[in-house]
Structure 1
Amino acid sequence: MADQARELSALLSSAAIVMVGGIMGSAAKLAERIVIGRLLSPDAYGEVSVGLALLTVSVTIALAGCTQGVSRFIPRYDSTSDKRGVWVSGLLVAIPLSVAFGTAMFLFAETLADRLFETGEAVTFVRLLAVSLPFVAGFRIAVAGIRGHENTVYRTVVRDVLDPGLRIGLIAALLLAGFGIAAAGVAYLLASVIALVVAHVLLGRLMPLVGDVRTHVPELVRFSAPLVVSTVVSILLTRTDTLMLGYFRSSYEVGMYDAAYPIAGGLLVVLSAFGFLYLPIASRLDAEGDREAVDDIYATTTKWVYVVTFPAFLLFVVFPEDVIGLFFGPEYADAATVLPVLAAGFFFSAAAGRDRETLSALGATSWIAVGNVAALALNVLINLIVIPRYGFLGAGFASVTSLISLHLVICTVLAVQYGITPFSPAANRTYLSLPAVLLPVAYVLAPAISISVLTIGPFLVVAGLTSLCVVAVAGGLEANDAVVVDVLEDTVGVSLPFVRRWLPNGESDEAISDASSPN
């Protein structure tokens, strides 16, 4: 139990660091969209959104699932030559594929521009994104190598701060200088080159990049092959709506949808924070035969992702008009209709926890592919039916439906085949009590509350503390939650005696105390 609590403490401590970086990274990505949205018209913003969706899909295909493979295999080897070989193997797969896809994207830029865009500048924009594709792929492999070494600080610096920060500065400067949508293409190209170099410099501090290499391409490909489908389909689940809106409807509607989408996507920040070290730790525990520890860590982190994410979900559902106006301005007021819908889908994704990474750690990647393919098929089918008639609101409905179906498949496999679930009597009380108590209260108080730059922070803080109190009173706390409360208090610098008073005493308390104390 002490080892299990120690792993949970390490994971949560890492999550606290990554969460700060994740918030910065998500804020930077949102700021990037806000800069583009406010300096361009909604139609032009929609054009940029379609182009970035193309880049995201292309990079994901080119990576061929190798990012998860690199992160999984590096911690399983002891020798530097093997660890270096895993990184090199990832590059050997991803770089040729990214060059091939980038070349195709460059050559067919005019065709893509005719089908998906409405401006002549789109050809230049698409070609700039095509040239940046290999640099983005190399950067992602380097970050996967850093993740495999379980280093949260370097990942936070390069992925959540440097890369989006460079893009924001370049996009703002170029747009203010009079560039059109091509400004985003130039910014992505330059930022990806710089981020690629810096990421490898940081990776070089974790292991020498020059020396003997024992490659593991066959192993990496065998593990990653099912993930090629699942990761590509996973990205398509998030980008198909944008691409199909661009095909069937106007760029204006794409702009409305992609104003609400990144805001709702912010609900995954907490989930992403837990995910950085989750895969390496879960993989190592499974390799040691300690599946019970995997179950416990998955259940505990899932419950707390739900708790910490709930205040933002409450904000997006109850105050969508205020939120859209605050970030994008009155020109994007129509986006408020789809924000609560998208928020529901992303919150459900967050509430499912790291279900896909858990299956990856167990080696059951084929089930991830099955779940993703089924969800994508459902997403495309519903989009074909609802987008022509209902536009971006229909796209939001399709997105939510497909996300729910995906996680239902993955969580069912975890429960039936491996006995791993996020449910327990205390957890169930947590999942039910928060929406049952806080949603009605928020709707009653909504007419008296206005969300602005000055009030959004206090609202989230008050909602967060209230959420903790509701969970405590409802009996949603368990003995292992002492580790979570320790890390939460250390992170925010605030004592939570009321919450501690409701922690049940159990045999694991001593183990948790030992795990939290210095050696």
Structure 2
Amino acid sequence: MLVGGMLGSSSKLVERFVITRVLEPGAYGEVVLGLSVLALSTTLTALGLNQGIARYMSRFDEERDVRGLWLTGLVLGVSASLLLTAFLLTNGRTVVALVFDSPDSRSLLNLFVLAIPFNVAFYMAIGGIRGFENTIYRTYSQDLFYNGFRFVLLVGLLLAGFGVMAVGYAYLAAAAATVVVAHLFLNRLISLRGAITVRPRQLLTFSLPLVLAAMVSRVLGEVDTLMLGFFTNSAVVGLYDPAYQLASGLPVILSSFGFLYFPLTSRLDSEESHDEINSIYKVTTKWLFIAGFPLYLLFVAFPHDLMFVLFSSDFVGGSDALWLVATGFFISAAVGRAQDTLAALGYTRIILGINTAAVAVDIVLNALLIPRFGLMGAATATAVSFVTLNVSAFGFLWYTYGITPFSRWSVRTYVLLPGVLIPVMIYISQRVTLTAASLPIFVVVSIVSTIAVAALSGCLQTEDEIPLEIIEDKLPIHIPLVRRFIPS
């Protein structure tokens, strides 16, 4: 999941790189706004059903129950998405007038709108795959096929001269194809043909609070883009989005750990094994911090150089937003998968309340800061609101169940990694300019330095043998150096 997620995130960055090389910032901003509409609409019409499917599949033993769960979610979600698609197609002019600069943007918007039902359909298939605690099929269908096929289409259409419309066609065709691929993989886990037991009330009771929570959470990720489009123009959006997408590599690492964590925690909760959940939470969060730190280290030390190397000189204006948004994401990651844990424990209404409060903070801060500070105002609002969201969820989890990421090993990790490596890397960045040739070298140096400090400073514990054994078994390889520093 981690490798697949990083590949998927990297493909999105390469996609952004290609688009920014072909389109000027204003046109790129139009694309970003269209993608925001697609993301928000998909989250809304999925109705949280993909989460519900993943939760209940791990609790059912009969195939007819599992099959009925998937089919119920698919029918309800696709039906809702078709209604919204019809509404947006007939009222697209109003949306364009609110956030887009050019009236001609409606054609591009329509392509993204048509992709909504396909996105929802393959989300349901991914929810089913997640319910079986299967990582490889999710990685194949979403991270590799969806992102890879979309990228190939995008490049081909850009070369064919489709211009900004190439992005819309690529997203629409890739989503339609992924629906088929994801369901073929799901069919390998359980035959999609056969007797069913439909459970709409049980599924909706769990999922509907989550759709509102997921929606406000998605708004949290998209509202800065939309409000930048409202208060400024598409060119500013075009400068901000590459930095935001680059910083989003950190949440990708977080989600890769959470894909299996959610159904596993749900199963442990059904067995009332809360002590095990607490142990898993501690170890997972510490490794989440370690896995994300090399990337964060580069974002903090080389924001200007990274924007120049990965995009172009036209987009370096967003470099300050990069380290600021990344800091918000990284602090959020340090408290662990609090929302997934609360969802697995059944606290969907609490999640809704926390997400709603965080979105309110985000909207207010954006409204206050964007008119005065532009994209840095949006970056500040995003960082603060994400920290508010995840720290609040963790606080409730800690208060209710005593589940916390803090142990003597994790606290040592949180203090020593940034305390030792960030000052050193910033010192180096003031004397060295990052280039396309030296970037891979610094990536390796950042990873090795992070592992070395964690190993040599006593951040490792006995339970850390478990992820190493899994990696050695699955690849298969042997990792002797790190194991030497794990207490027996």
Match of 1:225 in 2: 208
2:338 to 342, 347, 355: 355
Residues 205 and 463 of structure 1: is their aligned pair in 2 closer, same or farther, counting only changes over 3 Å?
same
Match of 1:471 in 2: 454
Instruction: Give the SS at the match of 2:115.
Output: helix
Match of 2:310 in 1: 327
User: Which moves more between the two structures, 254-263 or 34-43?
Assistant: 34-43
Structure 2 distance, partners of 1:474, 1:182, is 52
2:362 to 379, 382, 391: 379
User: Structure 1 residue 495: deviation in Å?
Assistant: 5.5
Matched, 1:129 2:80: no
Structure 1 distance, partners of 2:172, 2:134, is 26
Structure 2 distance, partners of 1:472, 1:28, is 31
1:89 to 68, 72, 81: 72
The two structures have a TM-score, normalised by structure 2, of 0.97
Match of 2:101 in 1: 118
**Would you say the 8 A contact 1:121–1:182 is kept in 2?**
no
> How many matched pairs?
488
Match of 2:38 in 1: 55
Structure 2 distance, partners of 1:58, 1:363, is 25
**Would you say the 8 A contact 1:67–1:141 is kept in 2?**
yes
Structure 2 distance, partners of 1:494, 1:257, is 41
Q: Deviations over 1:228-252 (max 9, x none)?
A: 1110011000000000001110111
Match of 1:452 in 2: 435
User: Structure 1 residue 449: deviation in Å?
Assistant: 3.0
User: Structure 1 residue 371: deviation in Å?
Assistant: 1.2
Structure 1 distance, partners of 2:107, 2:40, is 19
**Would you say the 8 A contact 1:319–1:446 is kept in 2?**
yes
Instruction: Give the SS at the match of 2:430.
Output: helix
Structure 2 distance, partners of 1:112, 1:85, is 37
Structure 2 distance, partners of 1:119, 1:183, is 17
User: Structure 1 residue 331: deviation in Å?
Assistant: 1.0
Match of 2:85 in 1: 102
2:59 to 69, 73, 76: 76
Structure 1 distance, partners of 2:469, 2:154, is 41
Q: Which amino acid aligns with 1:266?
A: G
Q: Which amino acid aligns with 1:175?
A: L
**Would you say the 8 A contact 1:22–1:269 is kept in 2?**
yes
User: Structure 1 residue 425: deviation in Å?
Assistant: 1.4
**Would you say the 8 A contact 1:302–1:353 is kept in 2?**
yes
Structure 2 distance, partners of 1:503, 1:156, is 30
User: Which moves more between the two structures, 84-93 or 471-480?
Assistant: 471-480
Matched, 1:423 2:406: yes
Match of 1:13 in 2: none
Matched, 1:234 2:217: yes
User: Structure 1 residue 494: deviation in Å?
Assistant: 7.1
Match of 1:244 in 2: 227
Match of 2:21 in 1: 38
Q: Which amino acid aligns with 2:338?
A: D
Structure 2 distance, partners of 1:257, 1:495, is 42
Q: Which amino acid aligns with 2:339?
A: R
Structure 1 distance, partners of 2:98, 2:337, is 36
Match of 1:4 in 2: none
**Would you say the 8 A contact 1:66–1:221 is kept in 2?**
yes
Residues 19 and 151 of structure 1: is their aligned pair in 2 closer, same or farther, counting only changes over 3 Å?
same
User: Structure 1 residue 91: deviation in Å?
Assistant: 1.1
Matches within 5 A, 1:95-494: 95-487=78-470
Structure 2 distance, partners of 1:492, 1:429, is 30
Structure 2 distance, partners of 1:398, 1:170, is 35
Q: Which amino acid aligns with 1:98?
A: S
Instruction: Give the SS at the match of 1:480.
Output: helix
Q: Deviations over 1:11-49 (max 9, x none)?
A: xxxxxxx11111111111112222221111111001100
Q: Which amino acid aligns with 2:358?
A: A
**Would you say the 8 A contact 1:64–1:94 is kept in 2?**
yes
Q: Which amino acid aligns with 2:312?
A: G
User: Which moves more between the two structures, 257-266 or 446-455?
Assistant: 446-455
Residues 129 and 219 of structure 1: is their aligned pair in 2 closer, same or farther, counting only changes over 3 Å?
same
User: Structure 1 residue 258: deviation in Å?
Assistant: 0.3
**Would you say the 8 A contact 1:105–1:126 is kept in 2?**
no
User: Which moves more between the two structures, 479-488 or 208-217?
Assistant: 479-488
**Would you say the 8 A contact 1:32–1:164 is kept in 2?**
no
Structure 1 distance, partners of 2:477, 2:450, is 15
Q: Which amino acid aligns with 1:261?
A: Y
**Would you say the 8 A contact 1:50–1:242 is kept in 2?**
yes
**Would you say the 8 A contact 2:85–2:114 is kept in 1?**
yes
Residues 133 and 111 of structure 1: is their aligned pair in 2 closer, same or farther, counting only changes over 3 Å?
same
User: Structure 1 residue 491: deviation in Å?
Assistant: 7.1
Residues 302 and 341 of structure 1: is their aligned pair in 2 closer, same or farther, counting only changes over 3 Å?
same
Match of 1:3 in 2: none
**Would you say the 8 A contact 1:35–1:168 is kept in 2?**
no
**Would you say the 8 A contact 1:158–1:199 is kept in 2?**
yes
Work out the percentage of aligned pairs sharing the same amino acid.
Answer: 41
User: Structure 1 residue 485: deviation in Å?
Assistant: 3.3
- Alpha carbon RMSD of aligned pairs, Å? 1.5
Structure 1 distance, partners of 2:225, 2:83, is 24
Q: Deviations over 1:363-387 (max 9, x none)?
A: 1111111111110000000000011
User: Structure 1 residue 492: deviation in Å?
Assistant: 8.0
Structure 2 distance, partners of 1:212, 1:454, is 58
Structure 2 distance, partners of 1:469, 1:127, is 50
Q: Which amino acid aligns with 1:309?
A: G
**Would you say the 8 A contact 1:324–1:336 is kept in 2?**
yes
Match of 2:47 in 1: 64
Q: Deviations over 1:265-314 (max 9, x none)?
A: 01123222211111111111111111111111111010011011111101
Q: Deviations over 1:80-137 (max 9, x none)?
A: 1001011011112201110111111111111111121112331111111122111111
Instruction: Give the SS at the match of 1:209.
Output: coil
Structure 2 distance, partners of 1:476, 1:383, is 38
Structure 2 distance, partners of 1:65, 1:115, is 27
